[in-house]
Amino acid sequence: MASSNPETPETSFDLFSSLQFSPTLTASPENTAVCGKPCPYYMLDYHRDRILYAAHNFGWQEAVTVLEASNSLDLIKEKCSDAVDGVLVKVEDKDAAAVRLRILISPSGSLTAEANLISQVPLTSLFPTSLTPPESLVPWSVHLDTLPTPPTDLTRYKTTSRTHYNDSRVRASINSFLETKEVILWNPEGWIMEGSITNVYFYREDKGGWITPSTPMDDLTGQRKGKGGTAGTVRRWLIEKGMVRVGDLKKGEVQVGEFVWLSNGVKGLVLGKIVSV
């Protein structure tokens, strides 16, 4: 469906959000607090919220109706459960399994879920109590992109139209999602946006600690659009916990050798280190 927003390229796409399924999450008080009850899906309610926010932005009324329905979370869980069952059918120890899920919704409100097996992520990475970089962690190699990425609603909201992210990964010579590498996008004005598959967090003492670039969801009045990146679920949790704050920075302020945290709804938080600017 073509977007009515002139800033968004005319294209067809779905909205989506990726998250982890793991039985160990049912024992997490933090995940229970997000979901309202024990749940094996990582911050599921926050994923519904971010897709709904995007559906409102694109004017997808049929999708909004589905996501605002009182049974929306039950419907999402049903789709996710079917997808999880499909990949766990041949797994012997299902309690030790983990699954990457992708929840998608079309402009017409058609809801689907895709799944594949992944390695289990420790709860300490999904719900950390501190962002002090542990000495024991081997950081991902993080590059700044070599070219700017113009902000549009396809960068501000999670959609299946991802050419701009794929291009940035090619420029950084990242060939697989299994590689422990990431590339950080920045806009034509030089403002840091986000990683190709992650939100990003930099430590700046003069700005009060760990900061993350601004997004449209940080200003619910809709007057500001942020610097061009998305508002992830882990990012939301970290802000609500007071572990990070919204703060913008230019690419010229990023230094080789500094640590940066990266987050998404599948891996939780991973430590990175800037290797090229």
Res 273 pLDDT > 50: yes
Residue 6 within a domain: no
The answer to whether residue 234 is domain-embedded is yes
DSSP letters for 79-142: HHHHHHHHHHTT-S-GGG-EEEEEEEE-TT--EEEEEEEE----HHHHS-S--SPPTT--PEEE
Q: Give the number of C-alpha atoms closer than 13 A to the C-alpha of residue 127, restricted to the C-beta side.
A: 16
Question: Which has the closest alpha carbon to 15: 71, 77, 59, 73?
Answer: 59
Per-residue confidence (pLDDT) for residue 218, from 0 to 100: 87
Name the nearest CA neighbour of 264 among 229, 235, 242: 235
Q: Which pLDDT does position 11 carry in this prediction?
A: 61
Q: Tell me the CA end-to-end span of the chain in Å, nearest whole number.
A: 37
Residues 102 and 192 in one domain: no
Domain total of the chain: 2
- Please list, in sequence order, all residues whose beta carbon lies within 8 angstroms of the beta carbon of residue 128, skipping any fewer than 6 positions away: 243, 268, 269
Q: What is the pLDDT of residue 220?
A: 57
82, 113 contact by CB (below 8 A): yes
What are the tens digits of pLDDT across the range 13-46?
999 999 999 999 999 999 999 999 999 999 999 9
On whether residue 249 sits in a domain, the answer given is yes
Residues 163, 228 within the same domain: yes
What average pLDDT does range 72-83 have in this prediction?
Answer: 98
Query: Has residue 81 been placed in a domain?
Result: yes
Question: Looking at the predicted structure, is the pLDDT value of residue 5 above 60?
Answer: no
For residues 108 and 62, membership in a common domain is answered with yes
Write out the residue range of the structural domain in which residue 261 sits.
140-276
Co-location of 25 and 80 in the same domain: yes
d(CA 215, CA 200): 12
Beta strand spans in 119-251 (E): 140-144, 181-186, 192-195, 199-204, 209-212, 245-246
In the numeric block, the tokens 């997490």 are attached to 28
Residue 9 lies in a domain: no
Distance CA 266, CA 85 (A): 18
133-176 tens-digit pLDDT: 988 889 999 999 999 999 999 999 999 999 999 999 999 999 99
**CATH code: domain of residue 192:** 3.20.10.10
Query: DSSP per residue over 8-40, as a string?
Result: S-S----EEEEEEE-GGGGG-HHHHHHHSS--S
Q: Give, in order, the Cα–Cα distances in Å from 131 to each of 2, 124, 138, 213, 249.
A: 41, 11, 15, 17, 19
